[in-house]
Amino acid sequence: MWRDAALVAGRDLRVELRSRVTTNQVAPFSVLVLILFAFALDPDRQLLERLASGLYWTAVLFAALLAISRSAAIDETDGVRDALRLSGIDPAGVFVGKAAAVAVVLLGLEVLLGIGVVVLYGVDLAGAGLVVLAALAATVAVAATGTLYGALVSGLRVRETLLPLLLLPVLAPVLIGATRAFEAALAGVPADGWAWCGLLAGLAVLYAVAGALAYGTLLEGS
Amino acid sequence: MTAPASTSPTGAPDGDGGASAAPAGRTTLGHTGSPASRVLGALALGSVALLVMYGLVWSPPDAEMADSVRLMYIHVPAASFLYTGCFITTVASAMWLRRRTPGWDALAGASAEIALLFAAITLGTGSLWGRPTWGTYWTWDARLTSTALLTALLVGYLALRRLDVDPTARSTRAAVLGLLLVPNVIIVNRSVEWWRSLHQRSTLVKLDPTIEGQMLVALMVGFLAVGLVFTWLLVHRFRVAWLEYQSERLDLDLALAERRAEAGHPREAVEAARSSDRRHHGVADTRRPGGTPA
């Protein structure tokens, strides 16, 4: 399974690297979201700094929707889905590989957005350990959930509009957990944040297992 | 292989099996009503009338909440059956994934639709009650927030079901989504609860008066009435979904047969398609007793 996962992840990342959609479109879009938040909230540095965690994760979720939609689109064209089924690759491996590729893309976007938040909103970084671990757990949770729901809508004409409707309510707990963990870390009281980090890790494991189990059914049934 | 006598392909738990016992015309697939469901409907109507009397006339106003407490006799049962509906959807989705019989898919969809109706009732009566009691229609209380998210989950599930794609693919996707419904509800509920309790200690006055006397009776009648209405709606929505499924299959096969018939033997081909369809898809033979067997 892990070998299959590495193959699929490598393919998705190569496609992403060569098409340059993430670097040329998704990344600029996510920075634009940060700038729009500043317009909406008036560039009051104190307000922006106080809300930075929530705005950051909202921007990450918006960018994630695009990344997940891209990842689902890769399998739609040229009969890739049928080829995957015929290739004998373990469906769980396909799921893990696709989720891993999405996670790598998301981590890149998160670093970029992190720099954006520090520069644009004047956030002072603190509690690095908690920030990194919470971000990792949240990324895995978003990537696993997104890959599963991406498969649910892949191939449909209404994919772009249906995906946010299905995915965002499910990701609400991730948004809550990641925001609280970041707030605790930035406020210098990481002790409050570790519980949220635990929630994120739990969600990541849960959705990864659910996705690995369900992916075969979804691949077959469409 | 003989056609089952009931329109319930799975023996689905809709209370009574003899769905289309009433004689119908040649091309009619069946009815959504049956003697048993008519009795159920009458009972539901009666209990709603009883609830109106208990809720609005016979029970006293509350000491703190005054007359707005009367909304609770609908609100609390509606919320309970909202969760019941979600639970049925998840169980039916799991059963569909195991058995792959269309009845479970129909049941999952029917139950989710009615759950959405009850979510709307819950949110509506809750806001109306909140306005005089808390002074606001909406507050970021844990229960309100998680109910709103639950409504969004149901809307998404039904949006996926409504897509015009290959029925089997749609059923598979809907079943996976339906299977995740209750786990998602629990996760959202717990995390929102945790969020509110850590963030902001109970903004609301703890309204937990001990209910007794006529008010308790009114609430019980509310559960009875809402429960009967829920069951009645579920039975009928399930049957409509089942008939939709049958008509989709029948129409397709008939159309195929008619196109084929254009080439050769018109009447026999259509008749053969009709009868083979009945045998293959388990359509109840709704023709009058004494009609020629298929």
A169–B179 CB contact, under 8 Å:
no
End-to-end CA distance of chain B: 12
Q: Which residues pair with B62 in a beta bridge?
A: B66
Q: Distance between CA A146 and CA A64 in Å, rounded?
A: 8
Task: With residue B53 as reference, give the H or E element that holds it.
Answer: none
Residue B232 clears pLDDT 60, i.e. is over it: yes
Q: Distance between CA B149 and CA B156 in Å, rounded?
A: 11
Q: What is the mean pLDDT of residues A51-62?
A: 92
Tens-place pLDDT, residues A142-173:
999 999 999 888 878 888 889 999 999 999 99
Tens-place pLDDT, residues A11-44:
888 988 888 888 888 999 999 999 998 888 876 7
List the single best residue of B195, B198, B199 to mutate versus A (max A Cβ within 10 A). Answer: B195
And the tokens for B24? 């119908």
List the single best residue of B150, B165, B172, B200 to mutate versus A (max A Cβ within 10 A). Answer: B172
> Helix, strand or coil for residue A66?
helix
Please tell me the predicted confidence (pLDDT) of residue B145: 85
Residue B161 clears pLDDT 50, i.e. is over it: yes
Q: Please report the ipTM that was assigned to this predicted complex.
A: 0.88
Class of domain B37-203+210-242: mainly alpha
Angle at B84 between CA B233 and CA B52, to 5 degrees: 55
Q: Distance from B200 to chain A by nearest Cα, in Å?
A: 13
The single-letter code of the amino acid at B153 is L
Task: With residue B292 as reference, give the H or E element that holds it.
Answer: none
- Residue showing tokens 């009338």: B49
Q: Distance from B150 to chain A by nearest Cα, in Å?
A: 8
Backbone angles phi, psi at B30, to 5 degrees: 155, -175
Tens-place pLDDT, residues B7-66:
444 444 443 333 444 444 445 566 777 888 888 889 999 999 988 888 888 877 776 667
Backbone angles phi, psi at B66, to 5 degrees: 55, -135
Residues 195-214 of A with CB under 8 A from B: 199, 203, 206, 210, 214
Residue of B nearest to A172 (CA): B188
Taking alpha carbons only, the member of A60, A40, A76, A32 closest to residue A168 is A60
State the pLDDT confidence band at B194, using cuts at 50, 70 and 90. confident
Please tell me the predicted confidence (pLDDT) of residue B277: 53
Q: What is the mean pLDDT of residues B181-197?
A: 82
Please tell me the predicted confidence (pLDDT) of residue B267: 62
Which candidate from B155, B169, B188 shows the least CB-CB separation from A165? B155
Tens-place pLDDT, residues A71-120:
888 888 778 888 888 888 888 889 999 999 999 999 999 999 999 988 88
Please tell me the predicted confidence (pLDDT) of residue A175: 92
Dihedral angle sign, alpha carbons of residues B80, B86, B87, B92:
positive
Q: Distance from B189 to chain A by nearest Cα, in Å?
A: 9
Q: Distance from B76 to chain A by nearest Cα, in Å?
A: 24
